Structure 1
């Protein structure tokens, strides 16, 4: 059996899958915050319960909000302080008597989608999350590309370019600080919270993303103009990513991926930001939604 964990700052979810990635069982518990030992104990207990339930020693994959540095083995997961800067894979592997693998949760999302039956035709799947933040995952032939130290796909920390600043207005473009310590990262513009902050700063009214979208569909002039700007901003930024990576398909996840207008507007807006011979890849909505993280973590042990 394949065990997938979605490790969050608030909750830890375990889901068990067969080798067809069909879910058999799941359990969710609060994330321990008291000590690293308690955090390790929590995961170990969930694995041992699953082993007993399914009478096997399942593979263990973790989806984490960060990454494990491949050079020193230390986890970089700043929103789970008890496990940050700890050798989580070494310690869990020793406790559980088996290999444990981990990947960034955005990579797990992309991997889950790449293993969907309808997406296995694509050699290179690019997953983009437009949620609380903006991030990505790169999957080549069913395997995540993590890069030299494990941070490949951190597309949210690319920064606004000339065309984006020109679109937003040189003298009025809001420049947001990012949690990474830099400014004008895509994470603070193409995310759900970026959508709301941009509307506030460009249109002078604080609204939720849901309300902005509702007004857009009602034909509200301010909302319609804002969505035009936001779509163009997405096209500029994603166009750069397509130019660099040339994916066969793009899968969108996160809250803003449910804004169906984007699937009509983005393919129309992208060509002017690409090279003449470039192809706009199919842009599809994620199939597995919130379950993609655990499913992708479980798929870390699959190969084509």
Structure 2
């Protein structure tokens, strides 16, 4: 059996597939933030439970919100601090007594979309995740382009440009620290938590993304104005990414991708840039 684990900042989800890639089982748990050992054990418990259910050791692959340096074997996962800069593949392989592989979650998402029968006509696919974090993956001719060290596609750590800062009001623009050590990374603006932080700092009220979107659809002026700014910010930032990759197809994933308004508003804003 094939075990795929989606490792997120808020949840870990296991999906089990048979050799025909038909989903047989899934389970979701919260991502522990207490310690690296708790994080490892949570993943191991999910895998061992699946082993018992299906009567054998399945092959294990992880989709992570970061990347594993192929030279050092160290993971860089700034959204999950307990696992950041840890040898996750070595440690999980030892616990589970089998090979464990990992790939950036946005790369996994982009590859899945590129391999979808509906998208087979597109030679290049750019996948963007607007979830707990913001990231991307680029697939060319059915293969992930991950670069020499695996850093290709770490789009969340590009930074706000001139036009984005101008939109946010120059000296009034909120500048956020990123877990990578830099400031003003796209991950801290275009992610779900960035959506919430921006609303708090621009509108003076702390709301969840769900509450902001509900207010937007109800016609609340503050929410409508804010979403307009967010769409412009996303269009500027994603526009730069499009310039670099020039993809045949762009697909969105993550929690904010469920905000249907974006699918009409983003292309219109991009064309205005």
TM bin (shorter chain): 0.7 to 0.9
Structure ranking higher on relative contact order (CA contacts 8 Å, 6+ apart): 1
Instruction: Tell me if structure 2 keeps the 8 A contact 1:235–1:266.
Output: yes
Structure 1: how far apart are the matches of 2:40 and 2:203? 47
Instruction: Describe the SS at the equivalent of 2:111.
Output: helix
Instruction: Tell me if structure 2 keeps the 8 A contact 1:136–1:156.
Output: yes
Structure 2: how far apart are the matches of 1:13 and 1:114? 22
Note the C-alpha offset of 1:217: 2.4
- Measured against aligned partners, the alpha-carbon deviations of 1:247-268 in whole angstroms (never above 9, x if no partner) come to 1211112222111111111111
14-23 or 40-49: which moved more?
Answer: 40-49
Q: Size of the alignment, in residue pairs?
A: 271
Give the structure 1 partner of residue 139 of structure 2.
139
Note the C-alpha offset of 1:211: 2.9
- Measured against aligned partners, the alpha-carbon deviations of 1:216-247 in whole angstroms (never above 9, x if no partner) come to 22333333222222111111100000000111
Question: Which runs of structure 2 are paired with 1:232-251 in the superposition (5 Å)?
Answer: 232-251=232-251
Q: Does 1:224 align with 2:224?
A: yes
Alignment TM-score, normalising by the size of structure 1: 0.76
- The 1:215–1:41 alpha-carbon spacing in structure 2 relative to 1, beyond 3 Å, is closer
Question: Which runs of structure 2 are paired with 1:1-304 in the superposition (5 Å)?
Answer: 1-8=1-8, 12-28=12-28, 36=37, 47=47, 50=50, 53-54=53-54, 58-77=58-77, 79=80, 81=82, 84-90=84-90, 92-93=92-93, 99-273=99-273
Instruction: Describe the SS at the equivalent of 1:129.
Output: strand
Structure 2 residue ranges without an equivalent (≥5): none
Structure 2: how far apart are the matches of 1:19 and 1:172? 54
Structure 1: how far apart are the matches of 2:109 and 2:205? 33
- Measured against aligned partners, the alpha-carbon deviations of 1:151-208 in whole angstroms (never above 9, x if no partner) come to 2221111111111111112232222222222111111211222222222322333333
Instruction: Tell me if structure 1 keeps the 8 A contact 2:66–2:154.
Output: no
Structure 2: how far apart are the matches of 1:162 and 1:267? 20
61-70 or 196-205: which moved more?
Answer: 196-205
Structure 2: how far apart are the matches of 1:9 and 1:227? 24
CA RMSD of aligned residues (A): 3.0
- Measured against aligned partners, the alpha-carbon deviations of 1:135-156 in whole angstroms (never above 9, x if no partner) come to 1122233332222222222111
Instruction: Describe the SS at the equivalent of 2:4.
Output: strand
- The 1:43–1:130 alpha-carbon spacing in structure 2 relative to 1, beyond 3 Å, is closer
Structure 1 residue ranges without an equivalent (≥5): 274-304
Structure 2: how far apart are the matches of 1:222 and 1:67? 37
Alignment TM-score, normalising by the size of structure 2: 0.83
Instruction: Tell me if structure 2 keeps the 8 A contact 1:10–1:30.
Output: yes
- The 1:254–1:46 alpha-carbon spacing in structure 2 relative to 1, beyond 3 Å, is closer
